[in-house]
Each structure stands twice: as C-alpha cells, then as structure tokens.
Amino acid sequence: MGKYFSVFTLTLKEYFAYRLNFLIWRLRVFIGFLVPFFLWLTITKQVKNFSGYEEESIVSYFFFSHLLAYFILGTRTVDIAGQIQNGEIINFLLKPMSFFYYYFFRDLADKILNFLLSFFEVFLFFKIFSIPFPQVNLQFLPFFFLFLTLGLFLSFYLNLLISFFGFWSTEVWAPRFIFFILISILSGSFFPLDLLPKKLFSLIILTPFPYLFFLPVKMISSPKTLMNKIDLYSLFFMGSFWLAILFFLARFFWQKGLKSFSFWGR
C-alpha cells in the first residue's frame, strides 16, 4: 500500500506547486455554491414551506452539499482521456501497480484537499452572515456513511468510464460535458431532488446519479422527509447494484481499450 500512499502525497504536492490556480478554482466552486444557496433561501423566506422544505432545511441541504460536492464528485480521472490520446498513459502501463488504485488514491488526495477547503469556506461564510450551523442528524449517520461510500465509488467508476471513451475517440470533451450537465441536474446539486413530482423522482432514483450527491447529503441533513417516500434499504440495494455494474463495465472497457488501442506514433 506504500506505493499508493506515495501517489496520494505526491498529488497533494502537485497542488501546492500551483497554489494560486487551486485557490482560484476554489473561488469558482464557492461562487457555484452561493448562487443556488441564495436563490433557495429567498424562495423559502417567501414561501414558508416549499414542498416540505423550510428555510432551516434548505440551509442545511446546501451547507452539507457544499461540504460534500467535491468530496464525492471531485476527480482527477478527467486527465485520463488526454493521457490516452497523447500516449502518456504508457508510463502507467509500464509500472508494477494498479492503474485503478493509482487514480483512486489520486482522487482521494483531491477530495480531501477540497473537503478541507470547503469546510473552511462555509464555516467562514456562516460565521460572517451569522447563519446558524445546521444540525447533523446522528441517528442516520451509519446510512450517511454507507451512501457516501457508495457515492464515492459510483462517481469514481462513472468518471473512469467516461475517460475510457478516449480509447475510441479523440472527441471526449462532448460526452464529458453532457455527463457533467446530467450530474448537475440529476444528482441534486441545483435543488433537492425530492422537490420534483413524485413520478419523476421515482424514475430518477432508479439511476445512479442521486447516489452521487442527493442521497448522502439528504442522509446527513434531513433524512426523515425522504424516509416517508422511499425505503432506505431498497435504495442501498439499488446503489450497490449500480456499483457492481459500473465496476465490471470499467474493467471490461479498460481491458478492451488497452487491447485495441494502437498508441500508433505515440
């Protein structure tokens, strides 16, 4: 495991080589948090109960969503498609280590760094604007960790799959962009998904996207409102089913890509 710990620490070192870039990136993320936060705050201030969401619960949702967004969705796997195209991936293929573990630990460094900074940002923001800190729902903490773990792995394998598209096409940017838009809407980063009509919500909950964001955030902010609508054990089962599928698909396309890709002239 020592090799992967080194990957982890080196990824952190790389970030510190470009500190300003990283800080500007955090500013962009923070602005991304402010927009929906103030929008929903204004709505819930005027409509006291918006489909079961009050001011306190919407603040709680966006507080935790900012903390967890890049912990779950943040990834370095976006580099992979480019590395396939320019042949840089060859460096990994020649090393006695798992490519999947390598990227998982790289992602982990990225996630932890982003988490610490987002914690600092929201803490400061809530203090400055004297917004009371939301309560953590301790009763559902085990479910929170369960869904958080599911979200982490689902996000990892989904991102890998998108990147492996690079084995077959040089145009990886378009599918990644569509994927990003899909995630933004269907994972619940713009609004809590249980605000949607019941039928649409029941359909979306069958896809892997709500596991990336909505469910972990919901488990720690206001799980009880969700409990009335759906059984958590079935959700966990569905998430595990998606994880198994994505795990095998990622491995399958990795092997197939390596076998068919020519690295010609690279």
Partner 1 sequence: MISVKNLTKIYKVYRKTGNLIKDIFFRKYEDILALDKVSFEIGKNELVGFIGPNGAGKTTTLKILSGILYPTSGKVSVLGFFPFDKKEAFLKQISFVMGQRNQLIWDLPAIDTFFLNKEIYELDEEKFKKNLQKLTTIFSAKKLIQKPVKMLSLGERMKMEFIAALLHQPKIIFLDEPTIGLDIFSQEAIRNFIKDYQKEFQATIILTSHYLEDVKRLAKRLIIINKGKILYDGSLTAILQKFSSVKYVSLILEKEIKKEVLFKIGKPIVYQFPKVVFRIQKKDLPQVVAYINDQIPYLDLAIEDEKIEEVVKNLFKNQQ
Nearer to partner 1, 236 or 261 (CB): 261
Q: Which of 185, 163, 186, 147 is nearest to 68 (CA)?
A: 147
Instruction: Write the burial class of residue 157 (CB in 10 Å: 0-12 exposed, 13-18 middle, 19+ buried).
Output: buried
Q: Read off the tokens for 150.
A: 């599911």
Question: Considering only residues 19, 28, 46, 96, which one is a binding residue for partner 1 as defined by CB under 8 A?
Answer: 96
Nearer to partner 1, 46 or 91 (CB): 91
Assign 3-state DSSP to the chain and report helix, strand, coil percentages, each to 5: 75, 0, 20
Q: Read off the tokens for 120.
A: 């600092």
Chain centroid offset of residue 156 CA: 8
Does 123 bind partner 1 (CB under 8 A)? Our answer is no
Q: Three-state DSSP class for 129?
A: coil
Single out the segment in contact with partner 1 by CB under 8 A; choices: 13-21, 35-43, 146-154, 159-167: 13-21
Amino acid at position 46, single letter: Q
Say if CB 52 and CB 225 are below 8 A apart: yes
If you search the block for the tokens 């990886």, which residue do you land on? 172
Question: Considering only residues 23, 24, 47, 97, which one is a binding residue for partner 1 as defined by CB under 8 A?
Answer: 97
Single out the segment in contact with partner 1 by CB under 8 A; choices: 90-98, 130-138, 188-196, 236-244: 90-98
Does 3 bind partner 1 (CB under 8 A)? Our answer is yes
Distance CA 46, CA 54 (A): 10
Nearer to partner 1, 125 or 168 (CB): 168
Does 13 bind partner 1 (CB under 8 A)? Our answer is yes
Does 93 bind partner 1 (CB under 8 A)? Our answer is yes
- In the complex, what is the shortest distance from the CB of residue 25 to partner 1, in angstroms, rounded to a whole number? 16
Question: Considering only residues 129, 138, 197, 264, which one is a binding residue for partner 1 as defined by CB under 8 A?
Answer: 264
Does 23 bind partner 1 (CB under 8 A)? Our answer is no
DSSP string, 115-175: HHHHHHHHHHHHHHTTPPPPPP-GGGHHHHHHHHHHHHHHHHHHHHHHHHGGGT-S--HHH
Nearer to partner 1, 83 or 149 (CB): 83
Nearer to partner 1, 78 or 258 (CB): 258
Single out the segment in contact with partner 1 by CB under 8 A; choices: 30-38, 86-94, 112-120, 150-158: 86-94
Residue 109's H or E segment, with its range, is: helix 99-128
Does 132 bind partner 1 (CB under 8 A)? Our answer is no
Contact positions vs partner 1 (CB under 8 A): 2-3, 5-7, 10, 13-14, 17-18, 87-88, 90-91, 93-97, 258-260, 262-264
